Structure 1
Amino acid sequence: MKNLFFKEGKPYRIEDLMNSFDLDYVKTKELIKNFLNSGVMRVSKSYSDLEILLSDISVDNSKLDIEKDAFYFFKYVGAIQIANNYCILIYPKYMSISSIKKDLNNNFDKFKQLMDVIDKYENKKLQNVSIASDIDDIDDELLGIKLSILKNYYEHGLYNKESEEIKLNGDGKTLWNQTVNRSEAYIFNNIPFYLDVFTLENTLEENNIVQLIQRAIITEVSKDLDMLLDILGFDKVHLSEISLEELGPNEMLLNILEIELNNQFITIRQETVKKMIAYLNNISNNSDGNVTLVGTRAFNMIWEDVCSEIYGNDLDRTFEELDLLVPDPEISNKTLKSYVEKPKWQVENQSPFVSGNPLKLDVLSINSKGINIYDAKYYNISFHNKKVTGQPGINDITKQYLYELAFKKIINLNQLTVKNQFIMPKDDFVEDGKIIAYVKLDMFISLGLEPIGIVLRDCQTMYKHYL
């Protein structure tokens, strides 16, 4: 199996990919189709289009032709294993090629940390899911579930179910109602004694169907991720001679797991079942069984979650909880998120009404002295000769100012200092947390708003705190 690496967002011509994969033109086109169908690759007709395509807008790859003069780039972070031929590592766009090569020779330390970050994010998403049908709704965000299943097994072992059984003279809890009603009592000094008592025994069910499904999944994952597990230092596990197909149709196995989830009240067991459901959903939604994905198509969402956890987020807290003065006592119990106003509509011959979504903030934290408005941007910003690339667009800048305006009354009433910043990732950044630039629009400066800071955070430091 051949191990390859790529950088997210780096444009490649078809000739570049032919050389990397050592394939002819026809086979390379077929491989590209697999990547496009899996949603991990985008294609652009011109280099100038790349900045647009690298944003998080939706692109319908099915309408794009595969031609020699097109540029191809990965919109994905993580690993891709293709049958038994290739194990591909795709690093995030903020890393340089030299830094990636250094990591390849340094026991893949940064890549391993990235996979741990993706795993934690996916586990958080699963914890917020209570019913099986909701797992399918976030399936696109759970591409790293295979590694999570293995980690779960390493930490907690095989899934066990306990069954209750009533026994005569067992070692479990005495069932006094059954004992009094069904056993003969011997009276001594007016005190009844029972030679035979009924007890409740909890026994582990060996090889229950849920465990059999788990064994088959773990064995399948170990086989599918063969080389990636070597890279990450994971033990390969073979627990079953029976495949998932032999256990039954995918729909039947999902039904078994959904029933188990609805009847399981121990948290760690719930999480184990959720991961198996996500895995089986992933199989159902993956049309190409030769391509195994372990990563994320939306690393921007992960960067937002990292920043939210590191900086703290008060959007779901109320003004009363934060001990803030408010212009109207009726809003004291409102959350900061719900305080942001929605569009108000006035239609002829109708009373005014509210409809639509408010501004959506990433991170907002408040203390007794200041309000911090952060927007986590998974951008790769750079400056050269008074030119900037990879920067927030005019919409991003305008919205960031509007976030501050939305809380202007609260800011003035509580005399809060304002920190308004874009937070961006940077690889090996020794000046972690430094404001490297400011951006402003004079129309907002005239309203008393300050320029917005551009803050770079060292990724490894951020991920270490996140984990």
Structure 2
Amino acid sequence: MNKGHLTYFNELESYSISSLDTLLGKGSTQELLDLEVIKKNNNTYQFRYVGVITIKDTIIGVLPKYTGYYNWDDPQKFNHFKLIIQSLIIYSKSAYRKHNDEDYLSDADSVYNEAASAYWLLEDFLSNGLWNEYPTEKVLNGGNEIDWDHTINNINPIIQNGNPYYVNYYTNEINWVSENVITQIHEWALYYCNNKYASILGFPITYFYPLEKGKIGSDEYIISKIDEILHEVFDDRKIQLLKRIKLLIQKKSEENSNYISLFGTKKFDTVWEEACKEAFYDQYEEHKIHIESPIWKSTNEKVLKTSAKHIPDILHNHDNAFLVLDAKYYNVQIKDESIDGHPNLGDITKQFIYAHYFNRLCKEKPIINCFLFPNIDNEFTSLKHIGYVDLPLEIFEGERIFNIYISPKELLEMYVGSKNKRFLEQLLTITLPLSTKKEKLK
């Protein structure tokens, strides 16, 4: 698939109902509404989703909300969208991923996922190559080794002195055909997936002969051949390969219906959070012991219930500071000495409280408390300090939360493995000179 085949939209940006209905068809927009991938807002639609949407041969790329303020050309959009998809692939394999109805990142999810199947098929091809196994068939009195199970189940023996004797028998004979049908089907599937998805999935463009599926046979014929081989193979990888190709063909056969494929998420904030955890070497599991649980008591001090603990996004105990970081997927914009899109009072209060859990642990070094926001301003490369949040209460006196912009490009390139981590050192370089040591607790 080349770049020109992608139609781009931005998460949370408003688009006219008529333009989207025209592009996608009313049936498809209704299905996306039912899935809450788009939502109606007055007389417009908004995408509440980041990732790929495939409707027949139309491929839509929905970019994260932080891109909406910038007038990118198509090559810039394509390069960042490719990075988003690679990040979603990494996230889909992550232990942090919360498997719920907000994600469409594997073909085990409720909505068919053509891009996920394409990723599996192309990755499998790079590891294992093209299907090259010749089919076998049962031959009566053939020249190969006898298949005793099939012989005993299908041939009546001659009984002499209580012992069975098989005059006839079955053998497994390899069918040495020059053009294996399964190989052709596999090559067609690879050509289709490579042509449509390889570039945005980050695969090297590989040449596959442009084989037409119709020249192999009808869909019914091809599926019957796949089913035949499925009854003969027991290798898990081969079974998965055949089942994915079969599903791809079945879905392609349904293209006259409102066939929709999704590869993405309605909760891109979880991807942002995980990338930030990776960048700043999250140590929450090591330090959660210091976080106390709320305790409910009766009037006579009997413990009735212990509630769930707070869960900060990122904790890191560095030699020079203790970091308490909140990965905020917010579109914070500072204009003309005003600020929009910032976290609410509840988020701010929680972040101050998180820092207080670690006061006794950090008597001799400062606690660095930060909000981490995505921003693609060209004025900085990785991190940028944009101000503070103060909460003028005596308990929080002298404390502040640093507001930090992070370049999504740099962060996600680190997350997918193409850049080294260096965010922690940069954050400390920015914040340590602006921090003061805590007074020793008495």
Instruction: Confirm whether residue 308 of structure 1 aligns to residue 277 of structure 2.
Output: yes
**Which of 440, 452, 456 is the aligned partner of 2:390?**
440
Q: What residue identity is the alignment partner of 1:396?
A: D
Q: What residue identity is the alignment partner of 2:37?
A: V
The answer to whether the Cα contact below 8 Å between 1:141 and 1:297 also exists between their aligned partners in 2 is no
In structure 1, the partner of 2:36 is 39
Give distance in 2, aligned partners of 1:216 and 1:359: 53
In structure 1, the partner of 2:11 is 8
Give distance in 1, aligned partners of 2:185 and 2:359: 57
In structure 2, the partner of 1:82 is 55
Q: What residue identity is the alignment partner of 1:433?
A: L
The answer to whether the Cα contact below 8 Å between 1:222 and 1:229 also exists between their aligned partners in 2 is no
1:300–1:110 distance in 2 versus 1, CA, 3 Å: same
User: What is the TM-score of this pair, normalised by structure 1?
Assistant: 0.60
**Which of 111, 119, 125 is the aligned partner of 2:81?**
111
Q: Post-superposition shift, 1:304?
A: 0.6
1:345–1:7 distance in 2 versus 1, CA, 3 Å: same
SS of equivalent residue, structure 2 residue 66: coil
Deviations 1:165-203 (A, max 9, x none): xxxxxxxxxxxxxxxxxxxxxxxxxxxxxxxxxxxxxxx
Instruction: Confirm whether residue 455 of structure 1 aligns to residue 392 of structure 2.
Output: no
**Which of 412, 423, 426 is the aligned partner of 2:375?**
426
Give distance in 2, aligned partners of 1:234 and 1:446: 59
Q: What CA RMSD, in Å, does the superposition of the two structures yield over aligned residues?
A: 4.8
Structure 2, unmatched stretches of 5+, are 100-104, 132-174, 176-180, 252-256, 418-442
User: What is the TM-score of this pair, normalised by structure 2?
Assistant: 0.64
SS of equivalent residue, structure 1 residue 316: helix
Q: Post-superposition shift, 1:372?
A: 0.6
Query: Identity of aligned pairs, percent?
Result: 23
In structure 2, the partner of 1:403 is 354
The answer to whether the Cα contact below 8 Å between 2:111 and 2:261 also exists between their aligned partners in 1 is no
Alignment of 1:365-376 (within 5 A): 365-376=316-327
SS of equivalent residue, structure 1 residue 80: strand
The answer to whether the Cα contact below 8 Å between 1:365 and 1:371 also exists between their aligned partners in 2 is yes
Q: Post-superposition shift, 1:146?
A: 3.1
Give distance in 2, aligned partners of 1:366 and 1:223: 49
Alignment of 1:4-403 (within 5 A): 4-18=7-21, 21=23, 27=25, 29-45=26-42, 69=43, 71-84=44-57, 86-96=58-68, 98-100=70-72, 102=73, 104-105=74-75, 108-125=78-95, 139=109, 145-157=116-128, 223=192, 227-229=196-198, 234-235=205-206, 246=224, 290-317=259-286, 336-347=287-298, 351-403=302-354
The answer to whether the Cα contact below 8 Å between 1:80 and 1:294 also exists between their aligned partners in 2 is yes
SS of equivalent residue, structure 1 residue 301: helix
Deviations 1:65-122 (A, max 9, x none): xxxx3x31111112211013x211111111146544x2x1358222212211111111
The answer to whether the Cα contact below 8 Å between 1:376 and 1:422 also exists between their aligned partners in 2 is yes
Deviations 1:354-390 (A, max 9, x none): 4332111111110222101111111111022443222
